[in-house]
């Protein structure tokens, strides 16, 4: 499979030829190979999620949606996103502003540091949080003394979720801020606007699509995170089981149908995310940003 495109190309005659005589079937073959590859890796597996979920009709699917442990998983997933997304939005905006508007030593270093959560394996991220807040961790004795539970409960899961979805907002807002420049902000200040007014009336409208894009990506990651949350949660059904954890648990206990019912919801989230991304990219492109 690996050598296919090469051998296709090597079959061309090596005689000089003009662009007008370009082999007409070359694009067809290349497109066919590309789509076949995407089909095997992406489309067939994606289609399978929907086929499996509704293989026995909508009835069993709806029945699975009423399971208490399932509903709890949905609520927990939404809650985790509601905690992580606002935190990372505020952080992302501050970080983007500092990087795009200020000159200070270590600026590029800060940029790399913000990207770190993408480079670190989610399992390692979860492990770090366990080593910090777990029974054996730095804060373990203190937390136990005050009867505060972080690992195997909601706060730990929220920390893990916020960790892995940290860089998105900053990443999307920095280029937009840099593109927008400082002229309008300075004009607003000259006209007597204070910092807060400048932000709300000038900066925010300029960066709104980039910010929204960052929010959507943060939300998708927060709702879909598995590895880091899995490490810190303990995966207790009806307690610390988010929707992705429910998928794995159901699959492992041979409740394939339930697994696919939950998977469909998460797949729909992915589809909505991709559509929103497409729409926002077109919006930013038409405004000359990007």
Partner 1 sequence: MLGYLAVMLFLPTAAMLLKASQEPPTEFWRIATSPMALATYDVTFTTSLVAALLNGLFGTLIAWILVRYDFPLKRFIDASVDLPFALPTAVAGLTLATVYSDNGWIGSLFAPFGIKIAFTRLGVGVAMVFISLPFVVRTVQPVLMEMEKDIEEAAWSLGASQWQTFWHVILPPLVPAILTGVALGFSRAVGEYGSTVIISSNTPFKDLIAPVLIFQRLEQYDYTGATVIGMVLLIISLVMLLAINFIQAWGKRYESQ
Going by C-alpha positions, the residue among 230, 252, 257, 254 that lies closest to residue 243 is 230
Measured from the CB atom, the residue of 111 and 193 that comes closer to partner 1 is 111
Smallest gap from Cβ 190 to partner 1, in A, equals 27
Give Cα 163 distance to the centre of its chain. Answer: 12
Which residue, 223, 227, 230, is CA-closest to 269? 223
Which is nearer to partner 1, 175 or 184 (by Cβ)?
175
The full length of the chain comes to: 290
Residue 191 Cβ vs partner 1, minimum distance, rounded to whole Å: 28
Q: Nearest distance from residue 215's CB to partner 1, in Å?
A: 14
Burial class (CB in 10 A: 0-12, 13-18, 19+), 112: exposed
Question: CB of 61: closest distance to partner 1 in angstroms?
Answer: 15
User: What's the closest the beta carbon of residue 207 comes to partner 1, in angstroms?
Assistant: 17
Q: How far is the CB of 285 from partner 1 (least distance, A)?
A: 12
Neighbour tally for 33: CB within 10 Å = 14
Identity of the residue, 38 or 187, whose beta carbon is nearer to partner 1 in the bound complex: 38
Q: Of 114, 150, 120, give the one whose Cα is nearest residue 225.
A: 120
- For partner 1, give the closer residue by CB, 5 or 184: 5
Q: Which is nearer to partner 1, 134 or 214 (CB)?
A: 134
- What's the CA gap between 162 and 182, in Å, rounded? 30
Half-sphere exposure of 112 (CA within 13 A, CB side): 3
Residue 7 or 190 having the CB closest to partner 1? 7
Q: Please state the three-class secondary structure of 78-109 as a single string.
A: HHHHHHHHHHHHHHHHHHHHHHHHCCCCCHHH
């Amino acid at each position: 499979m690996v050598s296919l495109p090469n051998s296709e190309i090597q079959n061309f005659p090596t005689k000089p030829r003009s662009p007008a005589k370009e082999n007409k079937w070359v694009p067809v073959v290349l497109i066919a190979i590309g789509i076949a590859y995407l089909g095997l890796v992406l489309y067939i597996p994606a289609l399978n999620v929907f086929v499996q979920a509704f293989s026995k009709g909508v009835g069993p699917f709806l029945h699975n949606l009423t399971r208490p442990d399932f509903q709890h998983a949905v609520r927990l997933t939404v809650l985790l996103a509601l905690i992580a997304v606002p935190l990372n939005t505020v952080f992302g905006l501050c970080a983007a502003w500092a990087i795009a508007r200020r000159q200070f030593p270590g600026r590029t270093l800060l940029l790399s540091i913000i990207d770190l959560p993408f480079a670190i394996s989610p399992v390692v991220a979860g492990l770090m949080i366990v080593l910090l807040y777990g029974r054996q961790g730095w804060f373990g004795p203190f937390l136990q003394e005050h009867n505060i539970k972080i690992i195997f409960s909601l706060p730990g899961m929220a920390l893990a979720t916020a960790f892995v979805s940290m860089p998105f907002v900053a990443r999307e807002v920095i280029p937009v801020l840099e593109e927008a420049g400082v002229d309008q902000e300075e004009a607003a200040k000259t006209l007597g606007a204070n910092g807060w007014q400048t932000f709300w009336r000038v900066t925010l409208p300029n960066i709104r699509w980039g910010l929204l894009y960052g929010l959507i990506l943060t939300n998708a990651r927060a709702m879909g995170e598995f590895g880091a949350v899995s490490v810190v949660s303990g995966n207790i059904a009806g307690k610390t089981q988010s929707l992705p954890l429910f998928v794995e648990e159901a699959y492992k206990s041979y409740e394939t149908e339930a697994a696919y019912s939950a998977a469909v919801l998460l797949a729909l989230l992915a589809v909505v995310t991709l559509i929103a991304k497409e729409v926002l990219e077109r919006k930013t492109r038409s405004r000359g940003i990007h």
